Amino acid sequence: MDTAELEILWQDNLALVVNKPAGLLTQAPAEIESLESRLRALPNLGTYLAFAHRIDRPVSGAVLIARNVRAARRFGEQFQSRKIGKTYLAIVAGQVKPWTGEWIDWMRKIPGQAQAEIVAPDAPGARQAILNYQVIQSLCLPSGHPASVLEIELQTGRMHQIRLQCAARGFPLLGDALYQSPPLHGFGAEVTSDRERLIALHARRLTFHHPKTGVRTTVTAPLPTYWFSNVEQLSLSGESEAG
């Protein structure tokens, strides 16, 4: 099994944070390759790996994993009480204004589909979705259309939350055909299957309290290099030199 792409960003004997490659499921049945199956193929990680959360298949970035039952319980409590900070970077079609803001919606999973929708607050299954964003760069795509790089702080963790909230305001993520992004706003390498398509969304930072010491810990996941080859003007803290 190929583990070359796996990048462990931080670890100790209780937990680890991995930079998940886009296009790879976080977890899946045993016969399907996933981040979990790749980690279990590595030596010296032990047999207990509990994923504190998941990120979508076409999304890259930081994933937090517990290495024993107590750590898993502590991380679960932190997610439940919203004590874990989750920062994402996204490239969306269009020029987002104002430059900073908060988006609040009510959303739910569409029954029988791997997709979510915006609904009225009193709709069956509706759950509140809150994020804060900041425009950190404006771009002009090769197509001539404008785009915006957003830094997003998630206050809640709903299915496809960032993807849906951006698209609902007319700012779909590049490459995200599931939520309205047209072909001219593609992202990543050309693919033959929508299942393999990547989107311009990256789980940039995770901040959590260590499950034993309580020390607040922040882990940053470097951007994949293809972000810079896809959007030549992209400049984020000198990362265009990353390799």
Return the domain boundaries, the chain.
Answer: 7-235
The list of the chain residues with pLDDT below 50 reads 1-3, 238, 240-243
Q: Which helix (H) or strand (E) covers residue 77, if one does?
A: helix 69-80
Instruction: State whether residue 167 is helix, strand or coil.
Output: helix
Report the candidate in 61, 41, 43, 50 with the shortest Cα–Cα distance to residue 15. Answer: 50
Give pLDDT, residue 193. 66
- Cα 127 off chain centre by: 19
Q: What is the pLDDT of residue 5?
A: 67
Confidence (pLDDT) at 109: 96
Picking from 78, 180, 168, the residue whose alpha carbon sits closest to that of residue 119 is: 168
Cα 56 to the center of its chain, rounded Å: 7
Structure tokens at 111: 């029954």
CB atoms within 10 A of CB 64: 24
Give me the phi and psi of 133, to 5 degrees please.
-130, 160
Q: Alpha-carbon torsion 19, 103, 174, 172, what sign?
A: positive
C-alpha 195/C-alpha 187 separation (Å) is 14
Among the listed residues 87, 72, 57, the one whose alpha carbon sits nearest the alpha carbon of residue 16: 72
DSSP-based three-state secondary structure for 20: strand
pLDDT at residue 243, rounded to an integer: 29
Task: Note the pLDDT of residue 2.
Answer: 44
How does pLDDT run across 37-60, given as a tens digit for each residue?
Answer: 999 999 889 899 999 999 999 999
The pLDDT value recorded for residue 230 is 75
Give me the CATH code for the 7-235 domain, please.
3.30.2350.10
